[in-house]
Structures are given as structure tokens and as C-alpha cells.
């Protein structure tokens, strides 16, 4: 039975793959750390094969560059997924099952033509986790990790996920580094950007809320970039996602339990630890549980900070912020938490993602610090009307903080600066 052209191409690629792996082992190369040398070896393997093809013993390689790229992706990269990781238009990649690989572009999902096997998916996951230092097994069937390029990996092991392991790779794509970059992307207006920049410099406590993929981390990065260079920043996260330029910044992430069941470092542990590091500002990448209590206590004690939170509106974000501290223990009551939240949070910036895939600030809400019938009062500062973020008549709380750093907040809000 004769081979088809596709079968012959696959067989040739497998032969070259085996030869390159042998060369990598012979040279003692770590593919994850020395992709340049792997590329050099791949080029040599393809050239040697092409030289042998002149004798008619083996079939020639038709597209040298394409074959070298695929070989490098197989050995030093992440195989069939590498082209999506290299594609700047792709925001996220996920595998529901080996034959169903999806990507997201501009907030929209696409089913790709990539077909994998269960063994290939398992090998990819093992290779990705090897570079992160984290693990996944029957006792730890979930994992969050960061890939070398800054992309965030989440895996749910087969058995928890039905039939196949589920893999998500959320790419780290830098589209905005400072507030004015968000204006250019259409996420917010110039007056709103100037106001948020001034609020960070004045030391207001800011909560960023929104749904998954709404751009919370990007906005948090842009806000953090406005922190004055003289301040010492300490950030804590589940996995490293925050990336901003600052001369005095310590970043910490959580740690899984070891094989013996010990050594876990929770987000709450990191929040407490950060307070011992003489911070001028504290940033919590995402508040999800009992660590919310420790963050509120720090903010209430006068330490400026920022955090993000999953919520559908700014109002719901405040309600959730009042609920999460109750997870910390039975002796924590809403009677204590609600006024603490009201006096600790100054601004809530809520994000949304439109049908066109554009992430936008939907509202900026001030928190004056008042509570009426266990409900925290809010003051809208910017709201989205007819697809544009417009200024309201509201004023932010704590005008003295703006004055302290020489900022005329009324002028900023009116666009006079």
C-alpha cells in the first residue's frame, strides 16, 4: 500500500524529529533554556538530510524554513500550540479535548484546525509545567502556572474534567503600559485617564472590577505604573501576572503543597507577609477569599493599595468585598465588615467587554465612606452613555489627599490640566 503525500510528509517529519532529539541529547542541551542552539541543530539536521537526498536514498525537504520552525516548536517550544503563542492576534488558547483546540481573537472564540492526540496533550502539559516548577497529579488535579513568555497556564486533570484534561493558556499580550495607552485603545477617555492617574498619585485605594477577560490585570498594571517612584510597592498574586515599571517593587506569588502535603503558601499568608516589608503601597492581583479581610485591615490602617475582583458592576463589587471577609472566621460579622469596606475603598473602576471584543471602562464610582441601612453609599464619577464614558457631577472622596500632592482634582475632572 503506497503512502499518500500527507503520510509521507508526516513520516519525514517524524524522522527529522527523532534525529534532532538525538542531536539535542548528544549535545547535552536544555531545549527550554537554549532555543537558539536547538534552532542551529535543527538547521543542521535538515541540511544533512537534504544533502543525503541528493543520492536518492531519502526524500528531499521542500520547505526548509517551515520544517525548521516546526522542529524547533516540537523540541524547544510547545509543539502545535507554538504558532498560536507566537501569533500576536491570539489572546487565549484552550483545549477541550485533543481534537478541539480553540483560540480567542478580539474577544471572539474560534475552533482551529489543529488536531492533537491524548499523548501529545499530556506531553505538552508536562513540558509547560517543567518550566514553571509546579506540578499536577491525582492529589493536586488543578494547577495555575506561568509559562516562560509570561502566559498563564491553567490545567484541570482528566477525571475532574470529563474524558480529557482541560488546558487553558491566557497569553500575556502587552497592549497598554500606562493610562494614556488605554485612551488610544478606546478603553477610556482622556479626562478619566487623567483622573485615575491623579488618584493613584494621591494615594487613593482603588478596586478594579469586571468579568473574566475584561482587562482587569491590564488596568491594574497601568494604574500601578502611575505610582510615584519614591514609593515602595509590594504585590501579591496567585501566579505572577502583574508587569509594570517601578524602581522599588517586590512581587510575590503563592505556592502549592509539596508531595508530602506541606509547604503551601496561601494568598492570605502573602498579604500578611507583605505588611512586614515596609510597603508604601500594596497590590493584590485578585481578591478571591479570606485574604480580603487582611487587605481591608491594611487599607483601613492607612496603607494605600489596589486590588482586582470579579463582579458584574461596581455596586456588586462592593457587596462582594463585604462578603469575602466573612470567610476568614466565625467571629467576623457584617456589622464590622460593611463600614470597614466603606472607609477603606475610595474608588471602584468597573470594566466590561463589548460585542466587538473591545474592553472598556464602564463606570468609575467614588465611595464617600457613608453607610445607610447596611448599604454603602456611592458617588458616580464617570458612567458610560451611548458608548462613551461621560463625566457626572459627582466628586471623589478625600479631596485633601489630592491637595497634599499638589493636585487640583476639580481641574483634572474638568479637563483643565
Averaged pLDDT, 184-203: 94
Residue 252 C-beta-side C-alpha neighbours within 13 Å: 22
Same domain, 120 and 36: no
Kindly compute the dihedral angle of the four CA atoms of residues 369, 370, 375, 376, in this order, to the nearest 10 degrees. Answer: -20
pLDDT in tens, 101-141: 999 987 788 999 999 999 889 988 888 888 777 888 888 89
User: Which residues are CB-contacts of 79 (< 8 A; sequence separation ≥ 6)?
Assistant: 73, 120, 123, 124
> Sorting pLDDT into bands at 50, 70 and 90, what band is 1?
very low
Write down which residue in 170, 193, 223 finishes a domain. 170
Assign residue 162 the CATH number of its domain.
3.30.450.370
pLDDT at 356 over 70: yes
Averaged pLDDT, 212-216: 88
Same domain, 225 and 374: yes
Averaged pLDDT, 29-38: 75
Spell out the SS3 assignment of 270-305: HHHHHCCCCCCEEEECCCCCCHHHHHHHHHHCCCCE
Averaged pLDDT, 60-85: 81
The number of domains in the chain is: 3
Same domain, 321 and 404: yes
CA distances from 166 to 122, 149, 170 (A): 10, 21, 13
The C-alpha cell at 207 is 478596586
Judged by phi (left if over 0) then psi (alpha if -120 to 50, else beta), residue 278 lies in: left
Q: What is the pLDDT of residue 54?
A: 81
Assign residue 362 the CATH number of its domain.
3.40.50.300
Q: Which of 201, 250, 240, 121 is nearest to 398 (CA)?
A: 201
Q: What is the pLDDT of residue 7?
A: 62
Polymer length in residues for the chain = 417
Q: What is the pLDDT of residue 316?
A: 96
Q: What is the pLDDT of residue 263?
A: 84
- The angle at the Cα of 237, spanning 245 to 101, to the nearest 5 degrees, equals 95
Q: What is the pLDDT of residue 2?
A: 47
Same domain, 266 and 408: yes
CA distance 182 to 226: 13
Same domain, 261 and 347: yes
Which of 30-34, 38-42, 108-112, 300-304 shows the lowest mean pLDDT across its residues?
Answer: 30-34
Contact 253, 264 (CB under 8 A): no
Separation of CA 278 from chain center: 26
Averaged pLDDT, 354-364: 87
List the beta strands (DSSP E) in 130-218: 142-146, 152-156, 166-170, 206-210
Q: What are phi and psi of 146, to 5 degrees?
A: -115, 130
Rg over alpha carbons for the chain, rounded to the nearest Å, is 25
CA distance 270 to 251: 10
Same domain, 161 and 196: no
Averaged pLDDT, 38-44: 85
Same domain, 217 and 348: yes
The C-alpha cell at 387 is 458608548
Q: What is the pLDDT of residue 8?
A: 67
Kindly compute the dihedral angle of the four CA atoms of residues 316, 310, 289, 140, in this order, to the nearest 10 degrees. Answer: 150
Residue 192 C-beta-side C-alpha neighbours within 13 Å: 30
Mean model confidence pLDDT for the chain:
88
> Sorting pLDDT into bands at 50, 70 and 90, what band is 198?
very high
pLDDT at 217 over 50: yes
pLDDT at 333 over 60: yes
* Percentage of residues of the chain with pLDDT beyond 90: 53
Write down which residue in 77, 105, 129 finishes a domain. 77
Q: What is the pLDDT of residue 4?
A: 60
Same domain, 263 and 395: yes
Parent domain of 97: 81-170
Write down which residue in 170, 188, 220 finishes a domain. 170
Q: What is the pLDDT of residue 49?
A: 83
Same domain, 392 and 276: yes
Same domain, 12 and 108: no
Same domain, 276 and 196: yes
Contact 86, 44 (CB under 8 A): no
How far is the first Cα of the chain from the last one, in angstroms, to the nearest whole number?
78
The C-alpha cell at 259 is 508531595
Same domain, 272 and 390: yes
pTM of the model: 0.82
Most confident of 104-108, 262-266, 345-349: 345-349
pLDDT at 77 over 70: yes
Which of 22-26, 217-221, 328-332 shows the lowest mean pLDDT across its residues?
Answer: 328-332
Amino acid at each position: 500500500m503506497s503512502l499518500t503525500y500527507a503520510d509521507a510528509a508526516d513520516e519525514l517529519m517524524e524522522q527529522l524529529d527523532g534525529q534532532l532529539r538525538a542531536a539535542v541529547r548528544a549535545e547535552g542541551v536544555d531545549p527550554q533554556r537554549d532555543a537558539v542552539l536547538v534552532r542551529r541543530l535543527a538547521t543542521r539536521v535538515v541540511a544533512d538530510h537534504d544533502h543525503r537526498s541528493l543520492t536518492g536514498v531519502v526524500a528531499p525537504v521542500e520547505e526548509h524554513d517551515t520544517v525548521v520552525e516546526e522542529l524547533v516548536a516540537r523540541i524547544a517550544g510547545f509543539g502545535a500550540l507554538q504558532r498560536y503563542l507566537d501569533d500576536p492576534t491570539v489572546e487565549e488558547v484552550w483545549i477541550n479535548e485533543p481534537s478541539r483546540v480553540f483560540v480567542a481573537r478580539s474577544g471572539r472564540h474560534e475552533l482551529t484546525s489543529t488536531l492533537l492526540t491524548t499523548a501529545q496533550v499530556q506531553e505538552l502539559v508536562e513540558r509547560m509545567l517543567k518550566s514553571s516548577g509546579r506540578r499536577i497529579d491525582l492529589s493536586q488535579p488543578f494547577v495555575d502556572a506561568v509559562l516562560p513568555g509570561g502566559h498563564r497556564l491553567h490545567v484541570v486533570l482528566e477525571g475532574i474534567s470529563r474524558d480529557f484534561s482541560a488546558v487553558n493558556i491566557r497569553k500575556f499580550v502587552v497592549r497598554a503600559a500606562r493610562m494614556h495607552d488605554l485612551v488610544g485603545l478606546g478603553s477610556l477617555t482622556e479626562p478619566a485617564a487623567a483622573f485615575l492617574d491623579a488618584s493613584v498619585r494621591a494615594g487613593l485605594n482603588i478596586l478594579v472590577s469586571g468579568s473574566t477577560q475584561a482587562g482587569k490585570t491590564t488596568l491594574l498594571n497601568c494604574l500601578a505604573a502611575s505610582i510615584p517612584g519614591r514609593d515602595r510597592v509590594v504585590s501579591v498574586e496567585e501566579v505572577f501576572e502583574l508587569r509594570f515599571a517601578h524602581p522599588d517593587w517586590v512581587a510575590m506569588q503563592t505556592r502549592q503543597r509539596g508531595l508530602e502535603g506541606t509547604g503551601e503558601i496561601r494568598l492570605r499568608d502573602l498579604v500578611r507577609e507583605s505588611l512586614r516589608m515596609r510597603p508604601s503601597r500594596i497590590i493584590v492581583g485578585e481578591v478571591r477569599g479570606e485574604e480580603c479581610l487582611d487587605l481591608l485591615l491594611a487599607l483601613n490602617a492607612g496603607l494605600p493599595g489596589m486590588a482586582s475582583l470579579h463582579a458584574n458592576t461596581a455596586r456588586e463589587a462592593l457587596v462582594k468585598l463585604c462578603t469575602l471577609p466573612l470567610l476568614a472566621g466565625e467571629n467576623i460579622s457584617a456589622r464590622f465588615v460593611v463600614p470597614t469596606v466603606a472607609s477603606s475603598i475610595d474608588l471602584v473602576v468597573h470594566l466590561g467587554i463589548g460585542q466587538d471584543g473591545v474592553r472598556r471602562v464602564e463606570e468609575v464610582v467614588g465611595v464617600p465612606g457613608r453607610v445607610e441601612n447596611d448599604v454603602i453609599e456611592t458617588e458616580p464619577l464617570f458612567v458610560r452613555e451611548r458608548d462613551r464614558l461621560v463625566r457626572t457631577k459627582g466628586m471623589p472622596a478625600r479631596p485633601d489627599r489630592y491637595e497634599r500632592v499638589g493636585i487640583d482634582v476639580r481641574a483634572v475632572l474638568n479637563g483643565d490640566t
